[in-house]
Amino acid sequence: MQTPTLRDVADAAGVHPATASRALNPATRGLVNAETARRVMKVAEGLGYRPNPIARGLKTSKSGTVGLVIPDLTNPLFPPIVRGIEDVLEPAGYSGLIVNTDNDPQRESAQIELLRSRQVEGLIVATALIDHPLLARLRREGVPMVMVNRRPDGVDLPSITPDDAAGIELAVAHLVALGHTRIGHLAGPLTTSTGVARRRAFRNAVRDRDLDGDPALVVTCEHWTEESGADALRELLDRRPDVTAVVAGNDLIALGCYDVFAERGIACPDRISVVGFNDMPFLDKLAPPLTTISVPHQQIGAEAARMLLDAIAEPDRAARSVLLPLSLVLRGSTAPPAMGA
Amino acid sequence: MQTPTLRDVADAAGVHPATASRALNPATRGLVNAETARRVMKVAEGLGYRPNPIARGLKTSKSGTVGLVIPDLTNPLFPPIVRGIEDVLEPAGYSGLIVNTDNDPQRESAQIELLRSRQVEGLIVATALIDHPLLARLRREGVPMVMVNRRPDGVDLPSITPDDAAGIELAVAHLVALGHTRIGHLAGPLTTSTGVARRRAFRNAVRDRDLDGDPALVVTCEHWTEESGADALRELLDRRPDVTAVVAGNDLIALGCYDVFAERGIACPDRISVVGFNDMPFLDKLAPPLTTISVPHQQIGAEAARMLLDAIAEPDRAARSVLLPLSLVLRGSTAPPAMGA
DNA sequence: TTGAAAGCGCTAACAC
DNA sequence: GTGTTAGCGCTTTCAA
């Protein structure tokens, strides 16, 4: 036996399919005799009827799906975000279609095309490319969209991001409280809004506190990876061997620092302190456990999904942007500077 | 302007929609005059026509989607599997719909219902619940399905799993080569096929090598978590303080051991060696870096997707099960037993 | 309150 | 080789 259709239910209940449709849909149930409605619902239940959202979608041009555009699910940053998104989407009757772009603009366009052809009702975009004509086009075409982890540059789009500036403030304040004055920053790639924002915040924090503002103390990484982080730290150490603390652009970059520490026999935190950013899983198991800025990823995802659902419901509502507060997670990779350092 | 439909293309090309359909579909393009086909395609291109898979699906009753049932995307085990799946699905024109079950049977049923109502053409199931009437029902209803990371118990279903027995063999052989004879095992929950398989493999390995076969050396964890792993190790140490090496059911359990080492001041690997299982990311940054069994997760996902696509194409093909070979990743958490231990 | 009829966008017989 | 017709399963006018 095939899975029953609305017709089957209608026939079995002795009503017209249209009536069955009305009875089964909570929104239109009021239009139908309560008694009839009850009967139809019972029959549907008995037959194991499940509405076919494809057919419904064809009629209503609503697919009940939204697209999630992320760089790479394998990056530990994203699973909690996706989870947060799904947790909100599901009760709302929506499903998420995930695509990975690997931060390749071509792939990104292609994937977004794919999602659009699949009739997604909106997009949650978490890729980090800072500039994108595609964005403007989607915007113009009226595709509901929200950005995650990045501020839309120039385009008026809702976004939900961690408060990068506040996070960096937290990190610098902590190091200063420990007594550091020569603090370096390993910035993320400046092609990403996050990299830019954190670097700016770092510079401001240093300036506000009259710390050593030598530009040599800020090194920019090519990628958000351990390798880039390691390269950057090597460069920093070559330029300013007297640096006593480092604010890493994110945890991966901080992890790269650990490699350099091992390679050069540098004691952390005795000789150099490090602060990460994001609080990926298992950082507490490192030696030393990494002090870092904790970002509520799952909450970010949930909030993004809520905003997208809002945008779908009310396309004309003004774009609202949310900055989520962060916190410092104190662990073992930070300590007062070595005496005489 | 709305997104153009097949009709628009047909009108613009001066042909009937059916002809346009044939011209646009590579499979039926042969039925149409090459010249006409070219013209239609050009017009479609020019108009930015994208076929609507919902409408197509309604007609062909193919949704182009498959369901991915996983416990929790947030568990580092799954992202690479999902990525592997997506990488195979996408070029085949399929998309994956992910649901998280949190290993809650109720939620699992509900989520599978959801997927079915979304007309998925098949299911990739990676949840670990060992016994499930649902499975048999789906099987009966002819839903193409493949299991990942678990062997279907009793049901004749394709599955793709790491070769758990071989992995445990590798771990035990390594420890024995180092000189260990009193080796403990912290087994995963016996409600999971993986937990059972690894425990059995451990016992076999111990028996085959005439090692200490004291049942007290095997402790079962309640969950695949750090906490459970820590609890289990404490129990093991209480029962057999002379144990010199531990094979953990997976990396998370091994991580729990690290906590106990810290808590009790036990030197690893000097006093106790540990081997993990899975090779999650960043294990090389631990102190000591964790020796573990590497599982090709992404490959598992890719293989699973390929098998599902096959099953969808040829529903009657016999279920094939694949065991993927594993390898030992030697790092710092294993060493010869302390002298006199 | 319910039924009839049309149609969402596409494809598959079947005819020409 | 191409057009005609019908219909996938559902919702939504419109009329009764």
Element (H, E) at B49: none
Question: What's residue B2's pLDDT?
Answer: 67
Substitution target from A73, A113, A297, A298 for chain B, most B beta carbons within 10 A = A73
Tokens representing B317 are: 């093909």
Residue A16, min C-alpha distance to chain B (Å): 21
Residues A194-211: what's their mean pLDDT?
96
On the question of a cis peptide bond just before residue B281, with omega within 30 degrees of 0, the verdict is no
Contact B188, B157 (CB under 8 A): no
Number of folded domains that form chain A:
3
Question: Domain check: are B191 and B232 in the same one?
Answer: yes
Q: Does any domain span residue B341?
A: no
Checking if the pLDDT of A167 tops 60, the result is yes
Q: How many CB atoms lie within 10 A of CB A332?
A: 15
At CB < 8 Å, which residues of chain A contact B? 50-55, 57-58, 63-64, 72-74, 76, 78-80, 82-83, 86-87, 90, 95-100, 113-114, 116-119, 255, 258, 280-282, 285-287, 298
Res A125 pLDDT > 60: yes
A79 → closest Cβ in B50, B53, B79: B79
Which residue does chain A place closest to B282, by CA atoms?
A282
Least Cα distance to A261 among A226, A293, A225 occurs for A226
CA gap A196, A189 in Å, rounded? 8
Return the structure tokens found at B287.
Answer: 């102190």
Mutation for B interface: A75, A285, A286, most B CBs within 10 A: A285
Q: How far is CA A23 from CA A9, A17, B37, B110, in A?
A: 11, 10, 46, 22
How many angstroms from the chain centroid is the CA of residue B4? 40
Please tell me the predicted confidence (pLDDT) of residue A30. Answer: 86
Closest CA to A203 of A163, A247, A253, A139: A247
Query: For chain A, what is the mean pLDDT?
Result: 92
Phi, psi of A329 (to 5 degrees): -105, 110
Confidence of residue A129 (pLDDT cuts 50, 70, 90): low
- The pairing of beta strand A327-329 with beta strand B65-70: unpaired
Q: Does some domain include residue B337? A: no
A89, A67 in Cβ contact below 8 A?
no
Residue A70: the pLDDT is: 95
Q: Are B57 and B63 in contact (CB under 8 A)?
A: yes
Written as six digits, the tokens of B167 are 């992995």
Same domain, residue pair A168 and A240: yes
Residues A29 and A112 in one domain: no
Indicate if B13 and B92 belong to the same structural domain.
Answer: no
Higher pLDDT, B234 or A319: B234
Q: What is the DSSP letter of B217?
A: G
Taking alpha carbons only, the member of A211, A193, A243, A118 closest to residue A202 is A211
Cα–Cα distance, B61 to B121 (Å, whole number): 9
Looking at the DSSP bridge assignments, the partners of residue A286 are B286
3-state secondary structure (DSSP) of residue B265: coil
Bases of chain D below 7 A from a protein C-beta are 1-5, 7-13
A37-95: pLDDT as tens digits: 898 889 899 988 888 888 988 888 889 999 999 999 999 999 999 999 999 999 999 99
> How many beta carbons lie within 10 A of that of residue B340, not counting itself?
4
- Residue B123's alpha-carbon distances to B69, B118, B266, B307, in angstroms, are 7, 12, 45, 11
| A50 contacts in chain B (CB < 8 Å) | 113, 116-117
Q: Same domain for B172 and B284?
A: yes
Query: Has residue A131 got a pLDDT over 80?
Result: no
CA-to-C1' span, A91 to D13 (A): 30
Q: Does B332 fall in a domain?
A: no
CB-CB contact of B148 with B124 (8 Å): yes
pLDDT tens series, chain B, 341 aa: 568 899 988 888 888 888 888 998 888 888 888 888 898 888 889 988 888 888 888 888 889 999 999 999 999 999 999 999 999 999 999 999 999 999 888 899 899 989 998 999 999 999 876 567 788 888 888 889 999 988 777 777 899 999 999 999 999 999 999 999 999 999 999 988 899 999 999 999 999 999 999 999 999 999 999 999 999 999 999 999 999 999 999 999 999 999 999 999 999 999 999 999 999 988 988 889 999 999 999 999 999 999 999 999 888 878 888 999 999 999 999 999 987 54
Residues in chain B whose beta carbon is closer than 8 A to a beta carbon of chain A?
50-55, 57-58, 63-64, 72-74, 76, 78-80, 82-83, 86-87, 90, 95-100, 113-114, 116-119, 255, 258, 280-282, 285-287, 298
Bridge-based pairing state of the strands B145-148 and B159-162: parallel
Cα distance between residue B221 and residue B253, in whole Å: 8
**DSSP helix, strand, coil percent of chain B (3-state; round to 5):** 45, 15, 40
Q: Tell me whether residues A52 and B90 touch, CB distance under 8 A.
A: no
Does residue A44 form part of some domain? Answer: yes
Q: Do A119 and B52 touch (CB under 8 A)?
A: yes
CB–CB of A130/A99 below 8 Å? Answer: no
Q: What is the pLDDT of residues A256-294, one digit of tens each?
A: 999 999 999 999 999 999 999 999 988 988 889 999 999
Q: What is the pLDDT of residue A314?
A: 86
pTM recorded for the entire structure: 0.90
Position B190 scores a pLDDT of 93
pLDDT of res. B287: 85
> Closest by alpha carbon to B280, among B39, B46, B79?
B79
Question: Is B336 among the domain residues?
Answer: no
What letter would DSSP give residue B322? E
Strands B292-294 and B327-329: antiparallel
Angle at CA A8, nearest 5°, toward A4 and A10? 135
Whether the CB-CB separation of A73 and A100 falls below 8 Å is answered with yes
Does residue A341 form part of some domain?
no
For residue range B35-56, what is the model confidence (pLDDT) as tens digits? 888 988 888 899 888 888 888 8
Q: In chain B, which residues from 27 to 66 place their CB closer than 7 Å to nucleic acid strand D?
A: 31-33, 36-37, 55, 58-59, 61
Specify whether the CB–CB gap between A159 and A150 falls below 8 A: yes
DSSP 8-state symbol, B192: B
E-assigned strand segments in chain B: 65-70, 95-100, 123-125, 145-148, 159-162, 183-187, 218-220, 245-248, 273-275, 292-294, 321-324, 327-329
- CA count, 13 A, side-chain hemisphere, A139: 17
Long-range contacts of A44-47 (CB under 8 A, 24+ apart): A44/A9, A44/A13, A44/A20, A46/A12, A47/A4, A47/A8, A47/A9, A47/A12
Question: What CATH number is associated with residue B27?
Answer: 1.10.260
Q: Give the position of tokens 């451990």.
A: B202
Confidence of residue A133 (pLDDT cuts 50, 70, 90): confident
Q: Which bases of chain C are under 7 A from a protein CB atom?
A: 1-5, 7-13
Token pair, residue B146, equals 């493949």
Closest CA to B167 of B279, B321, B277: B277
- CB-based contact B117 A72, cutoff 8 Å: no
Check residue B77 and report its DSSP letter: T
B310 plus B278 within the same structural domain: no
CATH number at residue A202: 3.40.50.2300
Residue B135 lies in domain: 63-162+297-325
Distance set, CA A63 to CA A58, B53, B235 (Å)? 8, 10, 53
- Asked if residue A73 and residue A174 are part of one domain, the reply reads no
In a domain, B57, yes or no: no
**One domain for residues B210 and B290:** yes
pLDDT in tens, A28-51: 888 888 888 898 889 899 988 888
Nearest to B202 by CA among B175, B229, B237: B175
Q: Which residue has the tokens 């790479």?
A: A72
Contacts of A53 in chain B (CB under 8 A): 117-119
**The tokens of A174 are what?**
């902590």
- The answer to whether the beta carbons of residues A68 and A78 sit under 8 Å apart is no
Residues B279 and B175 in one domain: yes
> Is the per-residue pLDDT at A191 higher than 90?
no
Residue pairs between chains A and B whose CB atoms are closer than 8 Å: 103
Instruction: Report how far residue A245's alpha carbon sits from residue A233's, in angstroms, rounded to the nearest whole number.
Output: 11
Are A177 and A202 members of one domain?
Answer: yes
Answer whether residue B132 is part of any domain.
yes
Residues 6+ apart with CB under 8 A from A188: A194, A195, A198, A199, A220, A221, A224, A249, A250, A253
The answer to whether the C-beta of B243 is closer than 7 A to strand D is no
- Does residue A1 carry a pLDDT above 60? no
* Residues 6 or more apart whose Cβ sits within 8 Å of residue A177: none
Pick the residue from chain A with its C-alpha nearest to B76. Answer: A76
Q: Which residues contact A235 (CB under 8 A, 6 or more apart)?
A: A219
Residues A315 and A198 in one domain: no
Looking at the structure, do residues B171 and B318 belong to the same domain, yes or no?
Answer: no
